[in-house]
Amino acid sequence: MDHHVIMKKYRMFLYGMIVAALGISMITKAELGTSPITSPSYVLTFIFPYSLGVFVLAVNSILFLFECLVLGRSFKKIQLLQLPATLIFSACIDGWMWVLSFWTPVFYVQKILLLLAGCAALGLGVALEVVPDVLILPGEGLVRAISRRKNWDFGIVKTCFDMSLVLTAVLLSVLCLGHVEGIREGTVAAAFLVGGISKFFIRHITEFDRNHRALFVREEEEILLVPEK
């Protein structure tokens, strides 16, 4: 594949991480919970004096290890790039949290609007990460590894995975704080909304030919994305 094409794909993936980090920060800043995949990391910020980005990095590093164990010899070395990508993603979350720290929504309507805007941003970010088909963050990487190894539907595995993360966050909160902290209606809303929003953006970013192969159209070029087997 042409070097210029590869760079364009990784650039789009980078943009996706930045936008997704903004979405997570907006959802969290709405003070109505956080996204399911970020919920354990968010709960940890109430227990230990470290930032959300630090715990996102830590949790994703653990998920990466599980992904390696599940894949075994099937693990591809290119996926080691998940680690620096996670570092960038975590830094972006902390950066956006700092930017948004100067504005705190007071009224519930403001929080709902910020939550919805965050879900839209997160959905767009996920779409921008998926379309180039070059890399994947550890959370989705583990889901993909399990679904491939067990031959289970990706969507079902993803739903169960997100639910397990939320349950882990709830248990962690109750055991360490004595009550549920950081898991609210915003977490449920993000779980239901982000998937549909990302699919909406993916449909508008990509075009499909007669054989239903994804075509990445950018700057009047058509770049074939080989679908995953």
pLDDT in tens, 61-87: 999 999 999 998 888 888 899 999 999
pLDDT at 221: 42
**Side chain identity at 11, as an amino acid letter?**
R
Residues contacting residue 109 through CB under 8 Å, at least 6 positions apart? none
Q: What is the rounded average pLDDT of the residues 143-149?
A: 87
Burial class (CB in 10 A: 0-12, 13-18, 19+), 66: middle
Sorted by where each begins, the domain ranges of the chain are 3-224
CA atoms within 13 A on the CB side of 105: 16
91-145 pLDDT, tens digit per residue, is: 999 999 999 998 889 999 999 999 999 999 999 998 888 888 888 899 888 988 8
What is the model's pTM? 0.85
Angle 222-225-228 (CA atoms, 0-180°, nearest 5)?
A: 165
Residue 56 has pLDDT above 90, yes or no: yes
